[in-house]
Amino acid sequence: MESVGPLVTLKHLDRGSRWEDNDLIELTYLASAVAYADAVACEVKAANLLKRALPITGQKTAVVTKLPALVDALALLVGPAES
C-alpha cells in the first residue's frame, strides 16, 4: 500500500467505528506490512479495513485474522514442500 491514506479514509467513513488511542499507529504499520509482505495477520477490525483498501490500492496481499490461516496462505505462496 503506497500510504496509510486509504486506510484512514475508510476508517473515517465508517460511522460505526470509533478511533482508539493506537489506531493511527496500527494502520501506519499495517500499510507498510501490506506493501512489503505477501501475507499479513491482524485483528478482525483492521483486516476488514485492509480488505476494503486492497482493491483501491491494487495490492494482492493475503489478509488473515488467524495464525493457521496465515500458515495456509504462506504455504500456497511457497508451494509444496520437497522431500
- Quick one: pLDDT at residue 40? 94
- Quick one: pLDDT at residue 2? 62
- Quick one: pLDDT at residue 30? 92
> Please, which residues have CB within 8 angstroms of residue 42's CB and are 6 or more apart in sequence?
30, 50, 63, 65
pLDDT, one tens digit for every residue, the chain (83 residues): 567 888 889 988 988 888 989 999 999 999 999 989 999 999 999 999 999 999 888 888 999 999 999 999 999 988 877 76
CA 79, CA 8: separation in Å to the nearest integer? 34
Take residue 78 and report the three cell numbers written for it.
511457497
CA 21 to chain centre: 19
- Quick one: pLDDT at residue 62? 93
Take residue 23 and report the three cell numbers written for it.
489506531
- Quick one: pLDDT at residue 16? 86
- Quick one: pLDDT at residue 65? 97
* Beta-bridge partner residues of 40: 63
Take residue 24 and report the three cell numbers written for it.
493511527
